[in-house]
Structure 1
């Protein structure tokens, strides 16, 4: 989470959630390396071995996700009605998952300062409208992913008068800012805008598990996007994921990125995946950071690591990586104050980003404003259709063909070729141009 704005005068600094969704797929394989100009030693992490030449290779999940909101979606009320009305469009575009904003009652309209977890009337709409939106997607074969905020919580009327469910002062970590905290020390990073919850308490654990089960059975959610997983020890997230048996789960980890040591950044993501026994995926912030710098600074060489593969988490653990160009924290919002823009992808190069993530491994996530508000709908639909038709999935193989100052090019599974950047490149004979736009092109192999 990063600071975003003051939501409560002089008391609460609203820190935005950051993460995103991944599919629990089976085997992981890829090569390791660094994303900088110089090779970086990868001590402490052993990449998965590549399959032998000629061996059958799983391409993993072919799912594509849509982030179903932006930072200011709550201003369009009821937002659940918007989601329901767009269900057919979402399904026809090829999206398999939709990530919902936090739906519990909260002190902040955006939903990231929750108070009454079991109350689903929020700034986004009523419980009935929420259930109708989920049902509309289900009827079209699309799964709904809840944004789950369990690191922290605010009281119903005061700092820590928790209701729905009721928790006592011992549910607040002892090192929280609140003077009445009586719990154990925090097992993760602190969060100053709300009370840090002590997940070592058995009754807190049971409450959270009951709530997640209720969200599945009563609201109809299929999976979770766990907010700010750095705030709580990984073992608790693994426990919650296993207890509720989601079809899909992802955690948010947004660490600082040194572009000349991208391995360190993605190693932290990989280590967290290991700490939850691979039960939960993570958003690939490494890929986002390297990719947006590469296209913005014309340093496309950064998109090939020292081992010759992709420099993000998709180069090491693609089956557990959720790739994205922007989200509600990093990018712009439609209307209102324009959103947060904490770490935006260069706006005139967004389609280069999508040409990359929609042809590469991982589970790609498309940001709502980019699809519905930026005039990119047709280009995005073409790339999603191409990905599905070619069978590109979370574990597809990447062979980088070029990565220099003015271009990046790669073959994916030997079926798709992609080029981004202003300089020319061609895959050669036997390929058909299938999608193109400003500074990007995608080809498919002729039969």
Structure 2
């Protein structure tokens, strides 16, 4: 979700509070209604895919894509997306919206938008599915705007539009319960405890599935309790689900080791709240990897227990890794959001890390389609090697070096990688497959 929209600047990075201790698999946690949620070793039926597959996700847009005809761009590049090795693509919000990017939705079921027409959207979905690429829809259900006013919702309307809005919303006319998450002043905060709200969301998501969407990327998920995501996924059985939780970095920005556990704990808490039914974007890995490559502090990529420092070190099958997205990174044109960009001269190193490691990796559209054939070629090769060697979200990770000049690891027992200027080799029996400035990958 855009982090600088209208009056939302004050709310950037604000997240739910978290517990102080790491909650791993087979642990029980109470949600806001004091109901126990049993965590599983892996995803339930409402979320599937990456445990047994080598999925790679492409973010199919940037902040300015809508200016150039999003759906036509996607349709025209469907074959290129497939040939790049991508198995899933995250598409922007499809509904009519008060803003150009789709993050202030009004009529959920009206698909005439700045991204294109209903027919163009359907053509894009058809092209992707024909080429074996699963489309994920950007789902904005924390908030909504009215049709002509603040809360006159239509397409669909709720059984009671006033009761559908939280009682502490800025509108002042909501009669629902208090908000279960962070307030969003630019739109009406929906009360997800209302049966009518849940019903309309489930019906809409199933309509999207009928159009050809295969999964969900949930926006602004700190705005309501994560248990509702579990309900929506139970009702729609997405192939893949991922939530956007951007935890605040509290205190020392240059923290490492135990000092970053609170950050990834917030991601664990939200995944726990869903009942283990959705992955979350691994903002902790992004944070630490950016510092590692920009400051030559590769030691920070190994936690005190010898595991990966990000969410992938705690619950890899529920972690979706990335370097940039439409909020953090730059966009062609006017530069876009660019709130927290990954160092542009270190992108190859970054992708050498996430595309070889556990978790489900994501590639940002401009990095693949707009930054030149050299970077595109390296990303494509890394994806191909991931698939060739069967690297999955749950693959084993053995970190063999992590110091001031390098990070090296062996993944799945058959792929070795190194990032950083320091020298390292996996030894005999390995073949160098691809490399670049300060990085290399070997296989056997």
Q: TM-score, normalised by structure 2?
A: 0.88
Give secondary structure in 2 for the equivalent of 1:417.
strand
Which digits, 9 at most, give the CA deviation of each residue in 1:208-265, with x for residues without a partner? 1111111111x21110001111111112111111101111111111001353322111
Task: Name the residue aligned to 1:280.
Answer: 278
Distance 1:399 1:365, change over 3 A: same
Q: Map Cα deviations across residues 166-217 of structure 1 (whole Å, 9 max, x no partner).
A: 1311211111111222211001111111110111111111111111111111
Give the 4+ runs in structure 1 shifted more than 6 A: 11-19
Matched, 1:237 2:243: no
Q: 1:407 is matched with which residue? A: 406
Distance in structure 2 (CA, Å) of the matches to 1:164 and 1:188:
25
For 1:360 and 1:244, how far apart are their aligned partners in 2?
A: 29
Q: 1:14 to 1:221 in 2, by over 3 A?
A: farther
Residue aligning to 2:347:
350
1:29 alignment counterpart: none
Moved more, 264-273 or 310-319: 264-273
Match of 2:269 in 1: 271
1:154 is matched with which residue: 145, 151, 164? 145
- Of 255-264 and 296-305, deviating more is 255-264
Alignment of 1:118-157 (within 5 A): 118-157=109-148
Residue 324 (structure 2) aligns with:
326
Q: Which residue of 2 aligns with 1:340?
A: 337
The 2-side partners of 1:16 and 1:138 are apart by 35
Inter-partner Cα distance in structure 2 for 1:331 and 1:423: 28
Q: Which has the higher contact order (CA 8 A, sep 6+)?
A: 1
Gap regions ≥5 residues in structure 2: 28-40, 42-49
* Corresponding residue of 1:26: none
Paired residues of 1:102 and 1:146 also in contact (CA < 8 A) = yes
- Aligned counterpart for 2:81 among listed residues 90, 105, 116: 90
| Partner in structure 2 of residue 99 of structure 1 | 90
Contact 2:24–2:315 (Cα < 8 Å) also in 1: no
- Kindly report which structure 2 residues correspond to 1:205-284, keeping only aligned pairs within 5 A, or say none: 205-217=198-210, 219-258=211-250, 259-260=255-256, 261-284=259-282
2:196 paired residue number: 203
Tell me, yes or no, if structure 1 residue 397 matches structure 2 residue 385: no
Contact 2:225–2:273 (CA under 8 A) maintained in structure 1? no
Is 179-188 or 65-74 further displaced after alignment? 179-188
Q: Of residues 141, 157, 176 in structure 2, which corresponds to 1:166?
A: 157
SS at structure 2 position matched to 1:106: coil
Partners of 2:13 and 2:246 within 8 A in 1: no
Deviation at 1:43, TM superposition (A): 3.4
Distance 2:14 2:84 in 1: 25
How far apart are residue 14 of structure 1 and its match?
11
In the alignment, does 2:57 pair up with 1:65? yes
Instruction: Determine helix, strand or coil for the equivalent of 1:386.
Output: helix
SS of the aligned residue for 1:170 comes to coil
Cross-structure match for 1:290? 288
Contact in 1 for aligned 2:352/2:419 (Cα 8 Å): yes
Unaligned runs of 5+ in 1: 20-40, 52-57
Aligned mates of 1:135, 1:45 — CA distance in 2: 41
Take 1:407 and 1:13, find their aligned partners in 2: how far apart are those partners? 37
Matched residue SS, 2:104: coil
Distance in 2, matches of 1:360 and 1:326, equals 17
Q: Residues 48 and 179 from structure 1, CA distance in 2 versus in 1: closer, same or farther, beyond 3 angstroms?
A: closer
- Residue matched to 1:81: 72
Aligned counterpart, 1:185 = 178
Once the two structures are overlaid, the 10-residue window that deviates more, 421-430 or 381-390, is 421-430
- Secondary structure of the residue that 2:113 maps to in structure 1? coil
**Which secondary structure does the structure 2 equivalent of 1:169 belong to?**
coil
RMSD (CA atoms): 2.2
1:366–1:17 CA distance, 2 compared to 1 (3 A): farther
Aligned positions, number? 410
Q: In the aligned structure 1, how far is the partner of 2:291 from the partner of 2:25?
A: 25
- Contact 1:104–1:111, Cα closer than 8 Å, also in 2: yes
